[in-house]
Amino acid sequence: MPPPSPDLDVVIVTYNSAHVVGDLLDSLPAALDGLTADTIVVDNASADGTAALLAARADCRLIRSANVGYAAAINRGVREAVPADAILILNPDVRLYPRSLPPLLNALRQPRTGIVVPQLRSPAGRLEPSLRRRPTLLRAMGLERTRVPAFAERIHEPDAYRRRHQVDWAQGAVQLMSRDCFDALGGWDESYFLYSEEVDISLRAHDAGLLTRYEPASVAVHIGGQSGQTAATHAMQIVNRVRLYRRRNGLLASWCYYWLHVASEATWLIRGHRQSGFAIKALLLPSVRPPQLGCRDRRLPQ
């Protein structure tokens, strides 16, 4: 007889996360508040002892993997889990507040809901502005500091973090998605490897008539920046932004978006952000792009 379905499948992707993932797993029981879960951790070939730490724990199942990227590891974890109607996707550098998961699950049960995200806070307790608007040409012009919605992708307004509402997308440290949503979209898009996959999943869900909702009654601490960022991963981030925009927009608008990102990275380079130098090269010279992205065949990546 197959095991009974849990309330949640919990999927965590680790990469050199030995210093943080244990605290996340320790926070899960109180966060579940009586809900049942099958917890799967997919380790993307960590070199710091993450896999050994996880293998010694009894509160999760470890899947050892090559470094196949974030989205591919999520898909692997979902395939390995005992099927549940809801899938909780967690970065290893989060800590869940006690009783934080039932409100997410209740929100997911609202009509037409595909994804629910919680309120995120820093380790010091400060609100993390984690909600986002969809990418546009105006929002690529480098005017984020104005906080004017037409120009700012990040949502800064404090009131937006006090109330439940629909959002275009949100920072992907904690996401609860329905199994129906996951199946309808065919899972996460593995071509991004790292970065932009959380934007893509929410926008594709919206295309399919499924909403992304924000639930402030659920709170998690997000440490952030625990895997570090190299010149290569920064280039992935910038190239993937352009790829995502190109996949959803026309050729002329996409070229404009591309050149706006070249100009933006140039301003960051002038201000001393050395990693932007390689990002500019990766945009202008397809042959130097990280091979994991699989988009070295044309200048405008897609």
Domain 8-222 sits in CATH at 3.90.550.10
Backbone angles phi, psi at 291, to 5 degrees: -60, -25
Q: Is this structure's pTM higher than 0.75?
A: yes
By mean pLDDT, which of 2-11, 23-32, 202-211, 282-291 is the weakest?
2-11
pLDDT at position 108 over 70: yes
Q: Give the pLDDT band (50/70/90) at residue 4.
A: confident
Mean pLDDT estimate for the chain: 96
Dihedral over alpha carbons 279, 167, 153, 73 (to 10 degrees): -10
Q: Residue 127 and residue 119: Cα distance in Å, rounded? A: 8
The reported pLDDT for the residue numbered 229 is 79
pLDDT digits (tens, 9 = 90+) for 186-208: 999 999 999 999 999 999 999 99
Is 1 a residue whose pLDDT tops 60? no
Strand, coil or helix: 26: helix
**Domain residue limits, the chain:** 8-222, 231-293
Structure-token match 């974890």, residue found = 77
At residue 51, does pLDDT exceed 80?
A: yes
User: 229-256 b/e with 16+ CB inside 10 Å = b?
Assistant: eebbebbbbbbbbbbbbbbbeeeeebeb
> How many percent of the chain have pLDDT more than 90?
96
Q: What is the mean pLDDT of residues 254-283?
A: 97
pLDDT at 251 over 90: yes
Please tell me the predicted confidence (pLDDT) of residue 185.
98
pLDDT tens digits, residue range 221-248? 999 865 567 999 999 999 999 999 999 9
